[in-house]
Amino acid sequence: NNQKSDSRGALIVLEGLDRSGKTSQSCRLLSYLEGLGHPVESWRFPDRNTGVGQMISAYLANKSQLDDHAIHLLFSANRWEKRSLMESKLRSGTTLIVDRYSFSGVAFSSAKGLDFEWCKAPEMGLPAPDLVLYLEIPPEVICSIIMFVGEIRKAAERGGYGGERYEQLEFQKKVARSYQMLYDASWKAIDAGLPIEDVEKQLREMVIWRSQTFDLKFLVLGSL
Ligand code: NYM
């Protein structure tokens, strides 16, 4: 193996229920890896900046209605429209920290009752992550945290828990069960109920541990 194939970036995905802390942890991980001198970018899905992303955003805000299958395919299309950029970044050595990916697509849509295999199909062929970090927290805990800070949250742009589609306790419980069905060897679960700094420390260790093992592999396409 030559140097070039050894130097591709890692695709690191953060997954978890709504409000499990993915976004703040991906910021922290980004600064950490930047500090170590790694070329790294932080991405998120849905990417609400594209045309497809705007349709998704309107749907999530209850400003539009779509068939469950149609919105599922839009979420997937939103990843496909970023595929070539994602792949070229990885191949040129940039590590990507991605806040939600195909697993959110399958977990949320199958929690609505769509067929699990049907949900997976449009994801096949996207770059496979090197590491999936699952921020694990019971849905009840998230709900009580959100109620506790509810008054502050209300003033925030996105509103409190329940502000967007899917942010309901019973639904989140189903999503958690779907996530469990997706769990495999590339996943690492972190107790997201721990203090932010402890979660951050564990994520750092896992990313560093993982970055010593992915160096010889090219992107594996097609697995989920
Ligand atoms: N979501 C996200 C899906 O239902 N399917 C997907 O493929 C993705 C990427 O969108 N409740 C849901 C999960 C969230 C919502 O995500 C918005 P975020 O991370 O809150 O912007």
**Domains (range + CATH), the chain:** 3-211 (3.40.50.300)
pLDDT value for 164: 79
- Distance between CA atoms of residues 204 and 14, nearest Å: 13
14 pLDDT tier (thresholds 50, 70, 90) = very high
Question: Per residue in 144-185, pLDDT tens?
Answer: 776 776 655 555 555 555 567 887 889 999 999 999 999 988
Residue 108 CA: nearest ligand 1 atom is 4
- Distance between CA atoms of residues 63 and 55, nearest Å: 9
Cα four-point dihedral sign 91, 190, 119, 108: negative
Distance, CA 100 to ligand 1 centroid (Å)? 7
**Cα–chain center distance at 93:** 21
Residue type, 23: T
Residue of 22, 23, 60 with the most ligand 1 atoms within 8 Å of its CB, for mutation: 60
The first and second tokens of residue 218, run together, are 């090219």
Question: Per residue in 65-121, pLDDT tens?
Answer: 999 999 999 999 999 999 999 999 998 999 999 999 999 999 999 999 999 999 999
pLDDT value for 157: 52
The first and second tokens of residue 185, run together, are 């060897």
Residue 164 CA: nearest ligand 1 atom is 11
The first and second tokens of residue 150, run together, are 């509810």
pLDDT value for 161: 57
Residue 23 CA: nearest ligand 1 atom is 19
Distance, CA 23 to ligand 1 centroid (Å)? 12
Residue of 17, 62, 81, 100 with the most ligand 1 atoms within 8 Å of its CB, for mutation: 100
pLDDT value for 168: 84
The first and second tokens of residue 147, run together, are 């109620």
Which pTM was predicted?
0.88
Q: Ligand 1 — pocket residues by CB below 6 A?
A: 18, 45-46, 60, 75, 100, 104-105, 108, 166
Question: Per residue in 192-218, pLDDT tens?
Answer: 999 999 999 999 999 986 665 554 343
- For residue 65, count CB atoms less than 10 angstroms from its CB and return exposed for 0-12, middle for 13-18, buried for 19 or more: exposed
